[in-house]
Amino acid sequence: MIVGLDVGTSKVICLVGEVLADGSLEIVGIGSHSSKGMKRGVVINIESTVQSIQRAVEEAELMAGCNIHSVYVSVAGSHIRSLNSHGIVAVKNGEVQREDIDRVIDAAQAVPISSDQRVLHILPQEYHIDSQEGIKDPLGMSGVRLEANVHLISGAVNAVMNVEKCIKRCGLGVDGVILSQLASSESSLSDDEKDLGVCLVDIGAGTSDIAVWIDGALHHTAVVPVAGDQVTNDISMALRTPTQHAEEIKVKYACAMSSMASADQVLQVPSVGDRQPRSITRHALTEVVEARYEEIYNLILDELRRSGYAERIPAGIVITGGTSLMEGAAELAEKVFQMPIRLSLPDCTKGMSDIVDNPIYSTSVGLLVYGSKEAEVTEISKRMMSKTQTKRETSVLAPKEIGPSFSATKAWQKLKHWFQSYI
C-alpha cells in the first residue's frame, strides 16, 4: 500500500494506492480537506495544518478500509532552490560498478549549500565515460573516467521540518519528501515529452511551480510565488466582496480571456457587511482575472528565458494544477508563450478515474507513482543483495561439500602398510 499526501495551500489531499500484480497502480482511497494552516506552500499554523491532514487521512482510510501508517508528502514554496552540478571520478577496475556510480554522484553533490538548506533530491541527468557522452546507465560499461551531470534540489530546513512535524503529530511516518513539480511530472508528462524537451507548469493556489525536462531528465526547477490565491484577492479587491465570495465567483464564473466572456451575462456580487449586492458583467470580471493570469504566464516566461530553456522545449508547455482549470487558461497561455500548450489530467492509474482525472490531483497521483517506482527499485536492490549473499555462502561452503582433499603421502603410507602385512 502506497499513500501520497499533497499538503497544499488550499487543500490537503490524501490518496491511497495499491500496486497490482501487473505493475499498474490502483487508487483505493481518497480523502481531501480544506487547508487552513498553509500559505504559499509553507506551514504558517501547525495546529490547523495537523487538523487538515488528520481529516484528509481519516477520510482516505475510511474509503480504503485500511489504516495508514506512513506517507509520501509533497513540498513546495519559494524556499526551494536548485542547481546543476558535475562530478568526475576514476573507474577502479576498468569496468563501472555500482560503487563507482555512487562515488561520482557523491562528487557531483559536493557543492556549497547554505546551512539552512536541506538536500531533497539528487537527480542524475546523464553520465560520460571517457569521451562517450549521453549515457543513461553506465553500469557494467568499460572505461577509466566516469563523469556525471546531476540536478540538485534543496529546501529550507525549517520549512521541510515543519511539514514533517505536522505529519508526525498525526501519528504517521514519512516515507519521503518529494518536490511538488517532480511528483506532478510523474503523473502529467509522457516519456516522449520528457525526451523531446518540455516545461511543466503546476499552477496551484499559493505558487506556480516550474519543471523543465530535456532528454528524459530534469534540468531546471523554479517557483513563481504568484498563483490562484492572487486571482481571488484581485476579484475581492476589484469587486469589493469578501474573499470567500470572491473564490466562489472565480470558480463559477471567471474566465482567463476577456474575448471568451459575454458582456451580456450579468452577475450578482455580494457586498461587505449589510450592503446590497451589486451587478457586474462577466466580461468586466474576466478583465480583472485576465490581467493576473497574464502576469503569471509572463513571470514563467521570464524565468524560462533567464535560465536559457525557452528555446529548448520543442514539446511546449504542459499546464496542470487547480488554477489551470479555468476557462481560457490554456488559450491565454498559447497567446503569451507562443508555443504548444497542453492541459494535463493525471492518467496513469486505475480506479476512481472519474474523480482523479482532474488537474487538482496531479501532485497527489504523482506521489503514488513516485512511491511505487521507489518501492520497485528497493525490491530489486533487495533481490540483488540476496543473490550476492547466496553466492558468497555457496563459495564458502563449496570445499566442505566436496569432501576431504586427496593426499598422495597418506595414500603411499597406506599402500606400504598393506604390503608389509601381506608379503
The closest of 287, 290, 363 to 322, measured between CA atoms, is 363
Based on the structure, what is the number of domains in the chain?
3
- pLDDT tens digits for range 237-286: 999 999 999 999 999 999 999 999 888 899 999 888 778 888 999 999 99
Catalogue the E-assigned strands of 257-340. 266-269, 278-281, 317-320
- pLDDT tens digits for range 76-121: 999 999 999 999 999 998 999 999 999 999 999 999 889 999 999 9
C-alpha of 268 from chain center? 40
Side chain identity, residue 256: A
Q: Are strands 70-75 and 173-179 parallel, antiparallel or unpaired?
A: parallel
Contact, 68 vs 37, CB < 8 A? no
Contact, 154 vs 95, CB < 8 A? no
Q: What pLDDT sits at residue 390?
A: 54
| CATH number of the domain enclosing 113 | 3.30.1490.110
Mean pLDDT, residues 199-228? 96
Question: Helix axis angle, 282-307 relative to 243-253, nearest 10°?
Answer: 90
Please indicate, yes or no, whether residues 99 and 204 belong to a single structural domain of this protein.
Answer: no
Q: Give CA–CA dist 344/341, Å, rounded.
A: 10
Q: Give CA–CA dist 244/233, Å, rounded.
A: 10
Q: Give CA–CA dist 186/306, Å, rounded.
A: 25
Residues 165/170/174/179 CA torsion (nearest 10 deg): -70
Mean pLDDT, residues 188-195? 95
Please indicate, yes or no, whether residues 201 and 177 belong to a single structural domain of this protein.
Answer: no
Please indicate, yes or no, whether residues 163 and 240 belong to a single structural domain of this protein.
Answer: no
| CATH number of the domain enclosing 275 | 3.30.420.40
User: What's 50's DSSP letter?
Assistant: H
Q: What pLDDT sits at residue 380?
A: 57
Q: Give CA–CA dist 75/178, Å, rounded.
A: 6
pTM comes to 0.86
- Beta bridge partner(s), residue 142: 95
3-state secondary structure of 217: strand
**Residue 116 belongs to domain spanning:** 81-155
Please indicate, yes or no, whether residues 380 and 294 belong to a single structural domain of this protein.
Answer: no
Please indicate, yes or no, whether residues 306 and 257 belong to a single structural domain of this protein.
Answer: yes
Q: What pLDDT sits at residue 271?
A: 85
- pLDDT tens digits for range 354-411: 788 899 999 999 999 999 988 776 655 555 555 555 555 555 444 444 344 444 444 4
C-alpha of 227 from chain center? 19
Q: What pLDDT sits at residue 405?
A: 41
Counting residues of the chain whose pLDDT is more than 90, the rounded percentage is: 76
The closest of 60, 35, 34, 30 to 46, measured between CA atoms, is 35
Whether 418 shows a pLDDT value over 60: the answer reads no
Residues making up the chain, counted from first to last: 423
User: What's 270's DSSP letter?
Assistant: P
Note the helical H segments in 217-273: 228-239, 243-253
What value does the mean pLDDT of the chain take? 89
Residue with more model confidence, 350 or 357 = 357
Whether 194 shows a pLDDT value over 60: the answer reads yes
The closest of 34, 47, 14, 31 to 244, measured between CA atoms, is 34
Whether 218 shows a pLDDT value over 60: the answer reads yes
Please indicate, yes or no, whether residues 145 and 161 belong to a single structural domain of this protein.
Answer: no
315, 343, 371 - which closes a domain: 343
Q: What pLDDT sits at residue 403?
A: 41
Please indicate, yes or no, whether residues 320 and 406 belong to a single structural domain of this protein.
Answer: no
User: What's 403's DSSP letter?
Assistant: -
